[in-house]
Amino acid sequence: MSTAALAEIAPRDTVLERRIRGRADGQSVRSQPQQLDVLVRKNQPLLHHVLKRFASSGEPYEDLLQVANVGLIKAARNYDPDRGTQFSTYAVAVVDGEVRHYLRDCLLLRQPRWARRAYAGIQHAITMLGHKLGRPPTVAEIAAAVNITEAGVLEVMALSARVEPEVYDEAMHAYEQQGLDIASIRSQHAESFALPIEDRIALEAALEKLSDFQRRLIELLFYREFTQREVAEALGITTKKVSRELAKSLRRLHELMGRRVF
């Protein structure tokens, strides 16, 4: 955004800029709620202008505006007018970064559970191996640490790397639509009491085809390890109904996957 464009959206107020850091009256904006309120209200047009670039994100505008205001407040607290940069110029960069970070988090949360867990495991392995080896680990070393094929590690990392606001819509289904080879994401060897990652991927795809009630039942019983009595209390149903619905849910999963997993 050019300086001229910024000037039209948020005309420069040098007195306000200096008060942001307390240069004018010896107090910081953090201790002056009224001054901060003036700053926020004065720069709303700037926030709306920044948010135009995220119009296709699909997130509620009110949520994005709230995040943008958080970025504006952070900018106010860290702005230094002695550097010679207009507050509006500095604020645009901070607000833009805050919104992008928020959208990235939203996208990561909407990825399949298996992808989030696999990526977290890979990142943990990279950190631990880096400390242990004193150098960046190779793909083969990472793959051995997380029990995923080398090709699978690369696919998981590629999936997470595609999570950017600029390709928001595509990233929602990147693992199906952007040429990622999900079939290559496999465990290297069997582990006791753990499903291979290829089975976890197939299981989550099958779970998505169950009803909300059935998915909730499976989650409580097998992921959160509730007893059937605890599930009955949580869902407000009888233990007999829990047993009946569980049997129906497992039969449906068996049909979808062609094999038993629970």
- Total domains in the chain come to 3
Containing 7, the helix (H) or strand (E) segment is helix 3-9
Q: What is the pLDDT of residues 148-175, one digit of tens each?
A: 999 999 888 877 765 554 444 444 444 4
List residues bridging with 194 in a β-sheet: 191
- Residues 9, 83, single domain; the answer is yes
Is 47 within a domain?
Answer: yes
Q: Is the pLDDT of residue 192 over 80?
A: no
Contact 225, 215 (CB under 8 A): no
The secondary structure of the chain as a DSSP string is --HHHHHHHS---HHHHHHHTTTTTS--GGG-HHHHHHHHHHTHHHHHHHHGGGTTS-S-HHHHHHHHHHHHHHHHHH--GGG---HHHHHHHHHHHHHHHHHHHHHHHHS-HHHHHHHHHHHHHHHHHHHHHSSPPPHHHHHHHHT--HHHHHHHHHHHHT--GGGHHHHHTHHHHS---GGG---SS-BTTB--HHHHHHHHHHHTTS-HHHHHHHIIIIIS---HHHHHHHHT--HHHHHHHHHHHHHHHHHHHSS---
Q: How far apart are CA 18 and CA 28, in angstroms?
A: 10
Is 199 within a domain?
Answer: no
Q: What is the pLDDT of residues 194-223, one digit of tens each?
A: 788 888 888 888 888 999 999 999 999 998
Is 75 within a domain?
Answer: yes
Percent of the chain with pLDDT over 90: 39
Q: What is the pLDDT of residues 218-246, one digit of tens each?
A: 999 998 899 999 999 999 999 999 999 99
Mean pLDDT score of the chain, rounded to an integer? 80
Question: The domain that contains 236 carries what CATH number?
Answer: 1.10.10.10
Q: Which pLDDT score is estimated for 171?
A: 42
Q: Rounded to the nearest 10 degrees, what angle do helices 113-133 and 139-146 cross at?
A: 120
Could you give the C-alpha distances from 92 to 36, 80, 85, in angstroms and in order? 17, 15, 12
Is 166 within a domain?
Answer: yes
**Where a domain ends, among 169, 193, 217?**
193
Question: The domain that contains 58 carries what CATH number?
Answer: 1.10.1740.10
**Where a domain ends, among 56, 85, 109?**
109
- Residues 228, 166, single domain; the answer is no
Q: What is the pLDDT of residues 85-109, one digit of tens each?
A: 888 889 999 999 999 888 877 766 6
Q: Which pLDDT score is estimated for 174?
A: 46
Is 202 within a domain?
Answer: no
**Where a domain ends, among 92, 109, 126?**
109
Domain that holds residue 215: 209-262
